[in-house]
Amino acid sequence: MISLHTSPLDQPGTGDAGGMNVYVIELARRLARQGVAVDIFTRATSSRLPAVVEAGDGILVRHVAAGPFEGLDKHELPGQLCTFAREVLRAEVLHPVGHYDVVHSHYWLSGQVGALARDRWNVPLVHSMHTMAKVKNAALALGDNPEPAARVIGEEQVVQAADRLIANTALEADQLVSLYGAEPDRIDVVPPGVDLRVFSRRDQAGVRRELGLPEDAAVLLFAGRIQPLKAPDVLLRAVAVLLERDPSLRSRIVVPVVGGPSGSGRDHPESLAVLASALGLDDVVRFVPPVNQVELARWYSAATLVAVPSHNESFGLVAVEAQACGTPVVAAAVGGLTTVVRDGVSGLLVDTHEPGDWAEALRRIVVDDSLRARLAAGAVEQASRFAWERTAELTLQSYERARSTMRMEVSL
């Protein structure tokens, strides 16, 4: 596997680390349990990192030195592709010919390197986009920066070079065809999963005591990277409208924001706190640094609902994790969230990003105990459909298709 711009060992929720990090390491773990040895190549971001880290039985994370260890922005990484690719290609020289059977690249930068490895090693390339520039630019958040033309061109090249493309949802598969000209018969739809042992229902009252939350609170949780794309501002503005409409809720509302700045949000890391103050929400909003998965599951379980107001999501891992904990989700009706969340069954989908519309969706769950209980039960059932074991099985099938139909004439 190639995950150039972000390591599966990084803490999700800040910087460039997010759902893709979880995807790569969880998929690798399930593949390893089925007897597949996995090497993950990622760019070293510190001189203190060992060259190779054993991340589990059968899983090696290889830190590749390419460019400055620290301070390199994601948009500067294309300049390091040649160096990174050279070091990846050198790794195979240490093994007998045919050591690797498949290259699975994650995100377009990795796909560029994967295409070179494909041709050099004569093995198929399977590629997961995770996000797509054309989709993101079509639904750009206010204050966010559009993806550059170089990324668009790079994605088009990778789509053409890959032997198989893995899409998270049927919608993403359609977008690959309509926006990038991908051949439908080279696309496999493989939903990501959730670790149902980590993300499961807990005693809410007990978890709230542990986290210092009032047992009778209405806890409206945001979890993820703080950047315009994820739209945490939509939740804060909606809460302000909700409290304006019903001031009696103020004594109960708590809004934890679990995560750190990322993307263009790093330019103004204090902007969300400034917005909370401007909206008069300092007494209800709590900022919590990124936490590990076990701790995150406790926050999900403590929440009355989890808000996912993103402007675009290829899948929506936060929504699945929250539902697995029995917590209803209020999500924007965009991208993979329309697949992950069953409207009126496991949560509520909101067609707009207007604060008033979001305030009404939040209010419905906060004040209606029977609706909340019904959605909580539906959330657990919905999340049970997504398991990493199933993701691994379908991914292995995609690998085998790639091996049997590898096209010899394609290269970047």
Q: Side by side, which strands form the sheet with 103-106?
A: 103-106, 125-128, 164-167, 187-189
Helix (H, G, I), strand (E, B) or coil at 312: coil
321 is in an annotated binding site: yes
Let me know: does 365 contact 304? Beta carbons within 8 Å: yes
123 CB burial (10 A radius; 0-12, 13-18, 19+)? buried
134 is in an annotated binding site: no
53 is in an annotated binding site: no
300 is in an annotated binding site: yes
16 is in an annotated binding site: yes
344 is in an annotated binding site: no
327 is in an annotated binding site: yes
Q: What b/e sequence results for 258-290 when a residue is b if at least 16 CB atoms lie within 10 Å of its CB, and e otherwise?
A: bbbbbbebbeeeebbbebbeebebeebbbebeb
244 is in an annotated binding site: no
Instruction: Please name the residue that has the structure tokens 């195979």.
Output: 92
As a whole number of angstroms, the distance between CA 125 and CA 112 comes to 10
230 is in an annotated binding site: yes
Q: What is the largest CA-CA distance in the chain?
A: 70
100 is in an annotated binding site: no
Helix (H, G, I), strand (E, B) or coil at 173: helix
- The two tokens of residue 74 are 């994601």
391 is in an annotated binding site: no
291 is in an annotated binding site: yes
270 is in an annotated binding site: no
- The two tokens of residue 50 are 């060992």
The H-assigned helical ranges of 202-270 are 204-211, 232-245
408 is in an annotated binding site: no
As a whole number of angstroms, the distance between CA 140 and CA 315 comes to 17
151 is in an annotated binding site: yes
Instruction: Please name the residue that has the structure tokens 């080279």.
Output: 186
Which residues line the annotated binding site for 1D-myo-inositol 3-phosphate? 5, 16-21, 74, 107, 131, 151
Which residues line the annotated binding site for Mg(2+)? 300, 303, 327
Which residues line the annotated binding site? 5, 11-12, 16-21, 74, 107, 131, 151, 225, 230, 291, 300, 303, 313, 321, 327
Which residues line the annotated binding site for UDP-N-acetyl-alpha-D-glucosamine? 11-12, 19, 225, 230, 291, 313, 321
